[in-house]
Amino acid sequence: MPASDLLAATADLVAIPSESHAEGPIVDHVEARLRALPHLTVERVGLNLVARTQLGRSTRVLLAGHTDTVPANGNAEARIDGDVLWGLGSADMKGGLAVMLTLAETVPDPAVDVTYVFYAGEEVAAEHNGLAHLVRHRPDLLAADVAILGEPTGGEVEAGCQGTLRIEVTLRGQRAHTARPWMGRNAIHRLGELLRLVEGFEARRPVIQGCEYREALQAVVVSGGVAGNVVPDLTSVTLNRRFAPDRTEAEAADEVRALLAPVLEDGDDLTVVDSAPAAAPGLDNPILRSLIDRHQLAVTAKLCWTDVARFAALGVPACNLGPGDATLAHTADERVDRASLDRAHQVLHAVLTTPPN
């Protein structure tokens, strides 16, 4: 089924460095290849590319992938050894980009309309995320019936994603000399009870559309203190809650507020500093459903937040499905093998060429 050597095609992309904030050359490369295809309408928005068929099909499938990588870690150079390609970005996610480009170049007359999205800035702070940029400025380009992101999933389906929110809690006390602590109140000591409540958080494991999610509440940063001889009057702790798609951001925050209410007092503060919604698995979508059934794909719940939530927020069911092993991403041993690339290509080729029911 592969129209080309996907391992070599991926190596060509790994050979173009594209660390976040320096995606220019790879975007230019991809843009030139897309513009050479007469069946695609290409738009460039900053460092993001959207290429679409306009065939008037009843259904539109969107395939998306990010062009940037994390910084190199002694693995900048692409190296093919047998059927394995080693190198930065091979799994996360130039393998997925190679599959997308191959489909764009070899399927000029798909059974569904197709939108290919190549976006920058996924590996860095959300403010730099190219998909977020498109959502804000050109949501029309993202219209689709279903979206599939090519992040490494070993060719299986990772459905939806959990939401995430960060809450900063500030506890107050009263300063005093540490030789006379009874004249004040130690804010850091108050942390003890708060952390006990955090540890006692009931991490739910709801099953939604057959996917088991698994929530979490973790203290991620703590700070406090005035001087070595002062009873501290202030301490703060940042908590990160991961929540399943059966909770809104507001509900998830309220549950943390309720959990901590027993230790919070007048003068304390609890602020949501950062929040992103969960995405439902979207497995009731007929295209995702038939894709899973036809290829007998494994489906797991995505516990981390991913860009699929941006599509879910637009009303577009989305999942992750791409070649490569996610646990190798961001490691010096990052690699992808030929079978994984071919398998992802086979599945996505079928999505594009099978008329929807």
Of 68, 215, 307, 334, the catalytic one is 68
CA distances from 162 to 205, 246, 278, 283 (A): 11, 9, 4, 15
Which CB atom, from 45 or from 303, has the smaller least distance to a second copy? 303
Which CB atom, from 139 or from 225, has the smaller least distance to a second copy? 225
Give me 269's structure tokens: 């503060």
68 noted as active-site residue: yes
Q: How far is the CB of 205 from a second copy (least distance, A)?
A: 11
Which CB atom, from 76 or from 219, has the smaller least distance to a second copy? 219
Q: How far is the CB of 187 from a second copy (least distance, A)?
A: 9
Handedness of CA 30, 123, 154, 296 (dihedral sign): negative
Q: How far is the CB of 91 from a second copy (least distance, A)?
A: 17
Q: Are 68 and 123 in contact (CB under 8 A)?
A: yes
Q: Are 213 and 162 in contact (CB under 8 A)?
A: yes
Which CB atom, from 96 or from 232, has the smaller least distance to a second copy? 232
Determine whether 327 is exposed, middle or buried from the number of CB atoms within 10 Å of its CB (0-12, 13-18, 19+).
exposed
Rounded-to-integer distance, Cα 122 and Cα 16, Å: 17
Q: Which residue has the tokens 């698995």?
A: 281
Cβ contacts of 38 within 8 Å, gap of 6 or more: none
Which CB atom, from 107 or from 328, has the smaller least distance to a second copy? 328
Q: How far is the CB of 174 from a second copy (least distance, A)?
A: 13
Q: How far is the CB of 222 from a second copy (least distance, A)?
A: 5
- Name the site residues for a second copy (rule: CB under 8 A): 162, 164, 166, 177-181, 186, 188-189, 191-196, 198-199, 216, 218-232, 235, 237-238, 240, 242, 274, 303-305
Q: Give the chain's length.
A: 357
Task: Report the 10 Å Cβ neighbour count for 202.
Answer: 9
Q: Are 244 and 165 in contact (CB under 8 A)?
A: no
DSSP assignment letter at 94: I
DSSP per-residue codes, 227-272: -TTEE-SEEEEEEEEEE-TTS-HHHHHHHHHHHHGGG--TT-EEEE
Cβ contacts of 295 within 8 Å, gap of 6 or more: 346, 347, 350
Q: Are 57 and 112 in contact (CB under 8 A)?
A: yes
Of 23, 92, 113, 122, the catalytic one is 122
Rounded-to-integer distance, Cα 327 and Cα 74, Å: 18
Q: How far is the CB of 317 from a second copy (least distance, A)?
A: 21
Smallest CA-to-CA distance from 118 within 30, 38, 54 is with 30
Which CB atom, from 22 or from 126, has the smaller least distance to a second copy? 126
122 noted as active-site residue: yes
Q: How far is the CB of 61 from a second copy (least distance, A)?
A: 27
Which CB atom, from 61 or from 301, has the smaller least distance to a second copy? 301
Residues noted as catalytic: 68, 122
